[in-house]
Structure 1
Amino acid sequence: MEFILFFLILSLSSIPVFGFTLTEFVYPNFTASNFQFVDSTGSFLVSRNGTFKAAIFNPGPEQVNFYLCVIHAESNTIIWSANGDAPVSTSGIMRLTKNGISITEKDGSFKWSTPPLKLAVYAMQLTEVGNLLLLDQFNGTLWQSFNNPTDTIVIGQKLRVGMMLSSAIAGDDLSTGRYRLSLTTSDAMLQWQGLTYWKLSMETKAYTNSNYAVEYMSVNQTGLYLFGQGGSVVVIMVNLLQSTFRIAKLDGSGQLIVISFVGSDIKRDFVGPVDGCRVPYACGGLGVCTSDVLSDNPKCSCPANFNLGSHNSSSCVPSDSSYSLPVSCHSTNHSNLSNYSSMLYIGLGYGMDYFTTDFTKPFRDGVNLSICQNLCSVDCSCLGIFYANLSGSCYKLEDEIGSIMLRTSRNDDLLGFVKTLVGVSTTLENNDNFDQEAEDFPLVAIVILPFTGIFLLMALGFILWIRSRPQRMGKIESKISQPSSPSSENLDAFSIPGLPVRFQYKQLKAATDNFKTQIGTGGFGAVYKGVLPDNTVVAVKKIINLGIQGQRDFCTEIAIIGNIHHINLVKLKGFCAQGRQRLLVYEYMNRGSLDRTLFGHAPVLEWQERVEIALGSARGLAYLHSGCEQKIVHCDVKPENILLHDNFQAKISDFGLSKLLNREESSLFTTMRGTRGYLAPEWLTSSAISDKTDVYSFGMVLLEIVSGRKNCSLRTLSHSLDDSATGDHSSSLSAQGLVYFPLFALEMHEQGRYLELADPKLEGRVSGGDVEKFVRIALCCVHEEPCLRPTMVSVVSMLEGEIPPTAPRMESLNFLRFYGRRFSEASNVEEAGGQIDAMLYPQANTSHTTSRSISNAYFSYISSQQISGPR
Structure 2
Amino acid sequence: MFFASAAPSALLMGFLFVLPTIFFSCTLVSAIPFSELIYPNFTGSYLQFIDASGAFLLSRNGTYKAAICNPDAQQINFYLCVVHVASNAMIWSANRNQPFSEAGNIYLTSKGITIVNGTGNEVWSALPNQSSVNALLLSEMGNLVLVDRANVSLWESFHNPTDTIVIGQHLPVGTSLFSAVSASDLSTGDYQLGLTSSDAILQWNGQTYWKLSMDTRAYTVSGYMVEFMTINRTGLYLFGSNGSVVIQVALVSADFQIAKLDASGKFTVSSFSNGKWNREFLGPSDSCRLPFVCGRIGQCSDNSASNTPSCSCPSNFHLSSPNSNTCAPIDGSFALFSACNSSNNGSQVNSSAASYLTIGYGYDYFSNDFSQQLNYGLNLSVCQEVCSGDCSCFGVFYENSSGSCYKIENKLGSVILSTNSENDLLGYIKVVAAASTNFNGNNNSGDQSQKLPVVALILLPAAACCGLIAIGFVWLRRRRISKLGEVKLGQPNSPSSEELDAFHIPGLPRRFDYKELEVATDNFKTHIGSGGFGAVYKGILPDKTVVAVKKITNLGIQGKRDFCTEIAVIGNIHHVNLVKLKGFCAQGRARLLVYEYMNRGSLDRILFGTGPVLEWQERFNIALGTARGLAYLHSGCEQKIIHCDIKPENILLHDQFQAKISDFGLSKLLSPEQSSLFTTMRGTRGYLAPEWLTNSAISEKTDVYSFGMVLLELVSGRKNCLLRTQSHSLEDDSSGSHSSSSSGSGLVYFPLFALEMHEQGKYLELADPRLENRVTSQEVERMIRVALCCAHEEPSLRPNMVAVVGMLEGRIPFCQPRVESLNFLRFYGRRFTEASVIGEENGSNNAILYSQANAFLTSAAGGSYRAVSYMSSQQVSGPR
Q: TM-score, normalised by structure 2?
A: 0.47
Q: Which has the larger radius of gyration?
A: 2
State TM-score, norm by structure 1. Answer: 0.47
